[in-house]
């Protein structure tokens, strides 16, 4: 399959009877011209050997974080950057726990923790272990981090029991990854523009009007788009956040600067305006610091409406324009009104009056309002912003493709 030609696949094999299935999975990828490297955990070597993997993959097998040879040839950071996608198959309950805790005690967990690529997990364990609440909690954490699950399935187990927990068939794992890479290849031709964070509107050289937006939701959306292969540009107001190197980051401060940066990056296929752009600016910025006085009058004027400009552009309107509505009351009514008035395709609304979500929080709860005769809307329940962004991008991929 052309989707896999020269694609770099990093396999991580954990200890468990299902480890033998990874040999067939590797064979399928190698047969389709993928480039493969493999990490074996300490316990995985009790079930499969480096020699058997090397003979199938014709690639390097790594198995020790502190190997001088490995670190000289390719350190754990470089190995995580080398891969186009990472597959952990099988992944055990123990490794699921370690990843959920952010552990980096061996090469496998260190590489996964350091990765900025999509990580797929194919669990394999006893049905009781799979159904245990601690496993469910740990998996929920990993989903929040953006990991994707393949399986497990229901079937007979090596222990003699029957139920859910059996590792997915190698062909199913192969097809899942192939489909992901196929969409990623298509998406590389698609340009996406995201705005994020607040803007600062200066009163004088040291004082300005701003808001409490952290930019976290917009940054997470940009990361999710980039992981899916989109050619992603992020225009960010003032934040303390970092972004992946493969995302084109443009830093601005004022609404006018954000507007000009947006203009320069048109045309684009997708535009997502998550930035909390100040609606007003000072009509005349004081060139010197204003000294303390009894009273101070500030005159405001309307800022440029970036979303309205792009969504109503005659020649360079993106195929998909998504706006955000941060509200403190009448959430659905205000979102529906904004959807119509701004000529958007979607409005994503959230209630910023809640203390546990919205501005400056790692969590969010949003409702997507679609441009639709039936006024269709869809609620994404309370979860981490990283997971919200994955769900938003899932829907973008569906609509674009």
Q: Give the active site residues.
A: 159
CA distance 243 to 227: 12
Query: CA dist 96 to 33, 101, 186, 307, 386, Å?
Result: 30, 9, 31, 42, 19
φ/ψ of 34, rounded to 5, equals -80, 155
The position carrying tokens 């788009």 is: 225
| Assigned token pair, 239 | 């934040």
Q: Taking the mean position of all CA atoms in its chain, how far away is CA 104? A: 21
Neighbours of 70 (CB within 10 A): 18
The burial of 316, by beta-carbon neighbours within 10 Å (0-12 exposed, 13-18 middle, 19 or more buried), is given as exposed
Taking CA 142 as the corner, what is the angle to CA 175 and CA 154, rounded to the nearest 5 degrees?
A: 50
Q: Rg of the chain's alpha carbons, rounded to an integer?
A: 24
- Do residues 327 and 349 touch, judged by C-beta distance below 8 A? yes
Nearest alpha-carbon partner for 348 in 335, 330, 363: 335
């Amino acid at each position: 399959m052309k989707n896999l030609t020269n694609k770099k696949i990093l396999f991580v094999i954990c200890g468990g009877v299902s480890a033998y299935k990874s040999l067939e999975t590797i064979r399928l990828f190698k047969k389709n011209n993928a480039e493969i490297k493999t990490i074996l955990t300490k316990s995985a070597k009790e079930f499969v050997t480096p020699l058997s993997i090397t003979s199938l993959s014709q690639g390097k097998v790594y198995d020790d974080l502190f190997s001088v040879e490995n670190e000289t040839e390719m350190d754990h950071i470089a190995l995580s950057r080398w891969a186009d996608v990472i597959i952990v198959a099988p992944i055990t309950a123990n490794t699921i726990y370690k990843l959920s805790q952010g552990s980096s005690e061996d090469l496998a967990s260190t590489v996964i923790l350091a990765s900025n690529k999509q990580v797929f997990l194919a669990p394999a364990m006893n049905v009781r272990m799979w159904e245990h609440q601690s496993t469910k909690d740990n998996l929920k954490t990993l989903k929040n981090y953006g990991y994707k699950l393949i399986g497990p399935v229901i079937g007979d187990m090596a222990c003699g029991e029957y139920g859910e927990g059996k590792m997915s068939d190698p062909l199913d794992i192969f097809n899942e990854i192939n489909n992901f890479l196929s969409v990623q290849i298509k998406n590389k031709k698609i340009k996406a523009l995201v705005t994020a964070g607040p803007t600062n509107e200066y009163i004088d050289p040291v004082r300005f009007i701003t808001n409490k937006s952290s930019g976290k939701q917009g940054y997470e959306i940009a990361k999710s788009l980039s992981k899916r292969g989109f050619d992603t540009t992020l225009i960010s107001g003032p934040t303390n956040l970092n972004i992946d190197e493969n995302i084109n980051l443009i830093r601005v401060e004022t609404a006018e600067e954000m507007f000009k940066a947006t203009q320069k990056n048109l045309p684009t296929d997708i535009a997502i305006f998550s930035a909390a752009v100040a609606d007003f600016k000072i009509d005349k910025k004081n060139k010197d610091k204003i000294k303390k006085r009894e009273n101070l009058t500030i005159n405001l004027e309307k800022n440029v409406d970036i979303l309205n400009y792009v969504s109503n552009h005659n020649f360079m309107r993106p195929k998909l324009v998504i706006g955000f509505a941060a509200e403190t009351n009448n959430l659905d009514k205000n979102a529906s009104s904004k959807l119509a008035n701004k000529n958007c395709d979607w409005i994503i609304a959230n209630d910023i009056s809640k203390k546990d979500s919205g501005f400056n929080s790692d969590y969010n709860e949003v409702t997507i309002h679609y441009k639709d005769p039936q006024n269709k809307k869809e609620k994404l329940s309370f979860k981490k912003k990283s997971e919200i962004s994955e769900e938003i991008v899932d829907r973008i991929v569906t609509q674009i493709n």
